Copies of this chain bind each other. A is one copy, B any other.
């Protein structure tokens, strides 16, 4: 497996979004010893030839066939206050698991994409260490001054969430306390690592590849 710039997770959550097609989220998924599917995500996961260990949700998005076939591993949760992604994360948290990956969280309804990404901050508050992997890159939610692995030319976006005095070292454009999401996008790593200095919380997105203007 490529150098992924993050520790391999103890478990992977498969969300309700677009099932991954990029090799990196697929490799993370297939190298995990524990996979839990949100019920909308289970159908695609099963169609891809894989077998879920657990499926969580209220079951309304699971096909009748899969509901019967995987009844023994279905964790029913009809809590209307959270989405299926959060139910999966809370389940893993209750089992003492902290370092997880989430795949298939983006790529369909954009309001779900925004919601799922922003929930990374809630998981940070729970003490979870979450990497959300998409077909283009990966998000982490972090707090305070941190150094991130990178490569020269890696595309980086930083989404501040009430930061104070944010600045950076090793990024092409300097950071500041953003007041809109777009202000931290389109940055680039200069070398093998970069550091973000701040007291607040923020999301960092890094792409798998250098900028390819014809593709991205």
- Which A residues contact B (CB, under 8 angstroms)? 16, 40, 43, 60-61, 63, 83, 106-119, 121-122, 134, 136-137, 139, 155, 157, 159, 180-182, 185-186, 205, 207, 213-214, 216
Contact = CB atoms under 8 A, between A and B. Distances in A.
A60 B215 CA distance: 11
Taken together, the copies of this chain in the complex come to 2
Contacts of A216: 16, 40, 108-109, 112
Nearest to A156: B111
Given A107-B107, A109-B207, A207-B109, A117 B114 contact: yes
22 contacts: A40-B213, A108-B136, A109-B207, A110-B113, A110-B134, A110-B136, A110-B137, A111-B137, A111-B157, A114-B114, A114-B117, A114-B157, A114-B159, A114-B181, A114-B182, A115-B157, A115-B181, A115-B182, A115-B185, A117-B181, A121-B180, A122-B182
A185 B108 CA distance: 14
A13 to B, nearest CB: 15
Contacts of A63: 214
A194 to B, nearest CB: 15
A110 to B, nearest CB: 5
Contacts of A115: 157, 181-182, 185-186
A159 B122 CA distance: 17
A137 B94 CA distance: 35
A216 B117 CA distance: 17
A121 B182 CA distance: 10
Given A16-B216, A112-B185, A121-B180, 9 more contacts: A61-B214, A109-B136, A110-B113, A110-B134, A111-B205, A114-B157, A114-B182, A115-B181, A118-B182
Nearest to A157: B111
A167 to B, nearest CB: 19
Contacts of A181: 114-115, 117-118
**What 9 A-B pairs have minimum CB-CB distances, sorted nearest first?**
A111-B157, A118-B181, A115-B182, A115-B185, A61-B213, A111-B205, A109-B136, A118-B182, A60-B213
